[in-house]
Structure 1
């Protein structure tokens, strides 16, 4: 891949993750105003499914493979991750939540080593260890860890399992079908929770935020699908760490949340781990 192509890919991924963080910023505004996190998660899946269905160009007969237990379990993980991260955002700064959330790639790495017998390079292992140390600085286990931080770690754990299941299904389903499967199955899974939660009534601002949260998140995930279709996932994955930049900026601009010195150091290490991984993959 040429330097120009890499710059285009980086720009696409950065736009994608910024849209995802924007969706979570809307989600934080909603949960802080009293909207149940399950309502936000449920509507995010449902609205995104409606909007992206025409773009995915799926036929009804393509829904058959969604009965695969691996596809369903993968969706359970991402639905649990989104619900958990929205719960964490009720009380925690966005940057800190995403810092804790990045335990996900480490979980995925461990599962791949245990179940798929993968043997990553020593350099990759060291970089992941650096990222894990950064996560520890953000969450401060035993030194001020909060309930919100625990939910962020739970979200990251769910996400790591989701990444592992995605790797298991690689090649079995095209990316757009995988995306639509998680949206459709996620909508069904979260419907009982969404319907049992109090819905906002006659609150135009709330519904606008719900729609914005769903659409920006859907657009971000769709761009990530496009990025993964044009480049190897191993090249795209490290670029996702730029999400920390968007999370920090939006946290400061929208909520005035500055990470403390220790958390900021942790965020820096996490980002350095991701970008270092990108550099090693670019090496001949």
Structure 2
């Protein structure tokens, strides 16, 4: 069920533009960080879960810069998302919080936990974290994102959305239309192209090959907070071999894999995801 929280949308000015977010509930702070992809937003990732988490936590669903909601800033979307988390926490007066991050949001959460360990009390990731070990790279989902980024069409959007889930019935006309509406926003598409366009993707691969700096996932031993890795067994965007290295490197990590579930565990395995995540956060 999609919950519409009237009056939860907020915005706050920072030194690098306005950040927008949804706020609900009372209790310890919980940040919900969205993923990347076509027409994505924090609200679309978590609107169906907010009522459950808001019963226990003061929830903040942050909209990252450059995805068509918060003000864009210069830089790579993953890096600007990470800095926006600290800017947001400072702006609203949050010293430390639990974090839930979907896909890219999980990568952002891991990086914040490594660079600012005092700011993250617990971390829950939903896919996305770690390297491909046995599966192809780029994955099927990433290849579909690249095709859309290079030449957008509604048909390509539908193909990618269906790749995100185990049950295609999850992809309703409402989901398609709202994603398509946002995907046509020039700023949103620039961000997508900067991450997944074939030119940008090749440049990123070359930069990684030439870099002397280790990849972020190789340093995950620095994540000091308790961490729950959640995954869909049938994830075709970030296949389920990826969490093996995070599970080994993060000192206090555990893994839960949901059957008959794709990339969006918080949507497709909604009740099970909420139950497992709440048990972890309230433990």
**Highest CA radius of gyration, 1 or 2?**
1
TM (normalized to structure 1)? Answer: 0.27
Instruction: Please give the TM-score of this superposition, normalised by the length of structure 2.
Output: 0.27
Instruction: Choose between structure 1 and 2: higher helix proportion.
Output: 1
